[in-house]
């Protein structure tokens, strides 16, 4: 059980087509957060992807700052969706975690999972940064995370963060299941999947030793919320939204 009821808004916008990134998306996110008094906002993979290029590092930072500066007075955890961006040598797929105007963490996608095709279609000539660190990662999980740290990804080990009194984890699409592999029987309270075309599965939820929730925003225009009730025989159930707007599904967790 959670310490408090949490109102969650999951953005169900399709990405990256037919909806390419447009500045009004920022206003939509802010409007949803304030209009519905959300405790958590979750967006899909590739939400921040221009039509014909990738964002630069400075543009990526400006996008994050735009959201952070406009929500300083809001007690909302914002996982807005992932940003496709590049620096001088590589391209990345990153989602920030924003709370009260601060970036409290970032998660960077490790397995490519279609990112290279997207980058090529946006005329990027750069390389996928994690590629040089990848081998049979799923059977050598500890070695993978060691190399993920070597890759200088700015995140806690392994994509797990603290928010309020909760331990939460965030993964991007094809990375699903890695936190569960690493943590074993150690459990999160809340698990978030920022995705496009891949949904939650009960066996890959890193919520095992206690009750908790898994939440997914899927760029196929879908949302998912699973609740694991510890100690019950059939202990994973899928929740229905309390309300469904055109591009926002609202859930209540308790």
Per-domain residue ranges for the chain? Answer: 6-253
- DSSP-derived pairing of the beta strands 243-244 and 248-253: antiparallel
Provide the pLDDT for residue 148: 52
Segments of the chain scoring below 50 in pLDDT: 132-145, 149-157
pLDDT of residue 141: 46
Q: For position 232, what pLDDT does the model report? A: 59
| pLDDT of res. 224 | 98
Q: Can you give the pLDDT at residue 153?
A: 44
- Give the pLDDT confidence score for residue 17 in this predicted structure: 67
Fold of the domain built from segment(s) 6-253: Nitrilase/N-carbamoyl-D-aminoacid amidohydrolase (3.60.110)
- State how far the Cα of 154 lies from the Cα of 134, in Å rounded to an integer: 18
Contact 224, 215 (CB under 8 A): yes
The pTM assigned to this predicted structure is: 0.88
């Amino acid at each position: 059980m959670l310490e408090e009821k949490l109102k969650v808004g999951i953005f169900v916008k399709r990405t990256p087509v037919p909806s390419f990134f447009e500045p009004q998306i920022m206003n939509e996110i802010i409007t949803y957060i304030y209009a519905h008094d959300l405790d958590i906002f979750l967006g899909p993979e590739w939400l921040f992807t221009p039509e014909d290029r990738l964002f630069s590092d400075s543009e990526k930072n400006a996008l994050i700052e735009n959201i952070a500066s406009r929500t300083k007075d809001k007690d909302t955890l914002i996982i807005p969706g992932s940003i496709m961006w590049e620096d001088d040598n590589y391209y990345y797929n990153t989602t920030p975690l924003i709370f009260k105007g601060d970036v409290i963490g970032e998660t960077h996608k490790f397995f490519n999972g279609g990112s290279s095709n997207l980058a090529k279609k946006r005329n990027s000539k750069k390389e996928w940064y994690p590629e040089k660190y990848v081998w049979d990662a799923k059977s050598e999980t500890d070695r993978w995370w060691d190399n993920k740290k070597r890759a200088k990804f700015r995140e806690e080990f392994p994509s797990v963060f603290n928010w309020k009194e909760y331990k939460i984890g965030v993964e991007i699409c094809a990375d699903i299941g890695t936190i569960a592999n690493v943590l074993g029987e150690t459990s999160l309270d809340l698990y978030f999947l920022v995705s496009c075309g891949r949904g939650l599965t009960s066996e890959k939820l890193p919520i095992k030793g206690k009750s908790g929730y898994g939440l997914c925003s899927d760029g196929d225009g879908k949302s998912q919320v699973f609740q694991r009730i510890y100690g019950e025989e059939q202990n994973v159930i899928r929740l229905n939204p309390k309300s469904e707007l055109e591009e926002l599904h609202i859930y209540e967790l308790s």
